[in-house]
Each structure stands twice: as C-alpha cells, then as structure tokens.
C-alpha cells in the first residue's frame, strides 16, 4: 500500500504526492487522527480532511489508483477551503 497526500489550496491548486511516513504532513495528519478520531493513517478508511489556514489536505493509504480517488477527495476538500 502507498501513502498519498492530497492538498487543495484556497487558489484551487491541487497537489497529489506519494509520501512516506517520514514526510512532515504524514506525521501531522497521523497525530491529528490519533488525537481527534482515535485512529491513524494505516487504520483509517474514512475521508477525514485536515484544515490549515490556507489549504485543506488529506493523507490516504491505499492500493487503488490515485485517479480513481482524485475526484472524490478533491470534491470533499473543496468544502473545507
């Protein structure tokens, strides 16, 4: 399984990036899930956005093709930007 970072900025800039567990946003998102949802990136199966001042992001661990998830993830993130 791979970890993907989905980022959407206020300027509608979309970023999809494969990341490792050492990536800054992986650690931040994992801590967020553990603190508020009592889960982590590896166990999480929900689309839970993380909001910052100027963007919304999500880290997903999946075997699916990114293109299969892209529309749904960015559609959700648009609600939080």
- The tens digit of pLDDT for each residue in 4-40 reads 999 999 999 999 999 999 999 999 999 999 999 999 9
1-13 confidence digits (pLDDT tens): 999 999 999 999 9
In 3D space, the residue among 42, 13, 18 whose CA is nearest the CA of residue 30 turns out to be 42
Cα-only R_g, the chain: 12
49-80 confidence digits (pLDDT tens): 999 999 999 999 999 999 999 999 999 999 99
pTM of the model: 0.93
The pair of three-digit structure tokens given for residue 20, joined into one six-digit string: 């490792």
Give pLDDT, residue 61. 95
Judge residue 56's burial from the number of C-beta atoms within 10 Å of its C-beta, 0-12 exposed, 13-18 middle, 19 or more buried.
Answer: buried
């Amino acid at each position: 399984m791979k970890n993907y970072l989905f980022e959407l900025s206020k300027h509608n800039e979309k970023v999809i990036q494969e990341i490792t567990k050492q990536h800054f946003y992986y650690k931040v998102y994992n801590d967020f899930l553990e603190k508020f949802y009592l889960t982590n990136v590896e166990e999480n199966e929900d689309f839970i956005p993380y909001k910052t001042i100027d963007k919304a992001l999500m880290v997903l661990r999946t075997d699916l093709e990114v293109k299969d998830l892209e529309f749904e993830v960015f559609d959700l993130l648009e609600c939080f930007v």
